[in-house]
Structure 1
Amino acid sequence: MSLIQNIKSSAGNYFLSEEVKSLNRSKMFVNMQDAKTVGIVFNATDSDDFELVKKYITYLREMKKRVKAIGFYDQKNIPALAYSKLEYDFFCRKDLTWYNAPKSIYVKNFMDDQYDILLDLNMDDVFPLRYISSLSKASFKVGKKSDRNNSIFDLMIETTEGKGLKYFLRNIDTYLFIINKKHDKQVTVNDLD
């Protein structure tokens, strides 16, 4: 990583940690059966992963969940897409501050919505997506297990190297259908075995 990238990364992490201190959200364990609203954060850059996310959103809608997704394109501009603004919002590099925090109104609105469940499908620890998940006011946040994510997620799911998003979505689904709302602490998948 170059010196400039190190400075941007350090500044981004610093500003994010300061904003997280003032975050006010009501944590509540919510399983998939009880959830009415689901927010999804994902990297839209990879077209195969985007197709998986679209299929998963269709699956959730078939279960009568209200779903909103926000995707990040790691490009200067968002490709021309014909997706409903009711389902998806997108942002790209030009929508970031100098320290890589998203600054779009779509992102702010997404973070302010109080989803029952937030699913972070950020498999590569992309900072703008981690920023959104960190500051989301969702009741129950679910994401990939890592030391960096301990303070972000209420449920962390371990991933096997090389398994990809499809495997991760399958695990999310499995655990969100078996989770019991009586938990009052952070849970990792190993705790549920």
Structure 2
Amino acid sequence: MIQWLRKRLYQYFLKKELRHHKPSRGIISMAEAKEIGIILDATDPTITKLVNQFADSIRTPYRKVSIMAFYDYPKPAINLNFPHFYRKQLNFFMEPQGYLVEEFIDKRFDILINAFLKDSPPLEYIAALSQARYRIGPYKTDKMYCSDVMIDIKSHQGIDYYLEQVKHYLYMIK
């Protein structure tokens, strides 16, 4: 019952914030991108490793890649080498709190990659309110507010296949 109420309140307050949130959006190619942001659920170390490898593969001397992760445990992770937030940093409405999260949301990334396949209200909140020019994420009909472009992968495909498709489509844009 409480989880249902939290989810409803989360949706209500996010919708309310999105009414006033009007950042400029546009399509940008990988060749033009100078700053890329990636958000992920770092609870699973395998996914974290794959996303780190993906970030390294798109990073160049002229392209900065920043990662923000959600660690779904009550205490902070000790093995993550990038900014993250954890369960105790969520308010009652499942919105992430803290300076690092606000800074990440306000940063004007050229591209924001949503590197999470499961529902994650804290990460969806960041994606929805991000100032990024171009947001790309997995296809979910009820999460249209999180991405400008969605990639449809079959449910049996994992994060590695999804990231491969993200890279493929971003390099196709001219």
After superposition, residues 41-120 of structure 1 pair within 5 angstroms as 41-62=39-60, 64-81=62-79, 83=81, 88-120=82-114
Distance 1:25 1:162 in 2: 34
How many residue pairs match? The answer is 174
Contact 1:122 1:130 in 2 (8 A): no
Task: Output the aligned Cα RMSD.
Answer: 1.2
After superposition, residues 4-15 of structure 1 pair within 5 angstroms as 4-15=2-13
**Structure 1 residue 175, shift from structure 2 partner:** 0.5
Unaligned stretches of 5+ in structure 1? 181-193
In the alignment, which residue of structure 2 is the partner of 1:176? 170
Q: Which amino acid is the alignment partner of residue 89 of structure 1?
A: P
**Structure 1 residue 78, shift from structure 2 partner:** 1.5
Distance 1:48 1:111 in 2: 25
Runs (4+) of structure 1 exceeding 6 A deviation are none
One of 140, 152, 156 as aligned partner of 1:146: 140
Q: Which amino acid is the alignment partner of residue 154 of structure 2?
A: T
In the alignment, which residue of structure 1 is the partner of 2:30? 32
1:123/1:82 CA distance change after superposition, 3 Å: closer
Distance 1:162 1:114 in 2: 33
Normalising by the residue count of structure 1, what TM-score does the alignment of the two structures yield? 0.87
**Structure 1 residue 162, shift from structure 2 partner:** 1.9
Distance 2:92 2:55 in 1: 32
Distance 1:167 1:155 in 2: 17
Does residue 159 of structure 1 match 2:153? yes
Give SS of 1:124's match: coil
**Structure 1 residue 56, shift from structure 2 partner:** 1.1
Contact 1:71 1:90 in 2 (8 A): yes
Give SS of 1:33's match: coil
In the alignment, which residue of structure 1 is the partner of 2:120? 126
Normalising by the residue count of structure 2, what TM-score does the alignment of the two structures yield? 0.96
**Structure 1 residue 24, shift from structure 2 partner:** 2.6
Give SS of 1:125's match: coil
**Structure 1 residue 82, shift from structure 2 partner:** 5.8
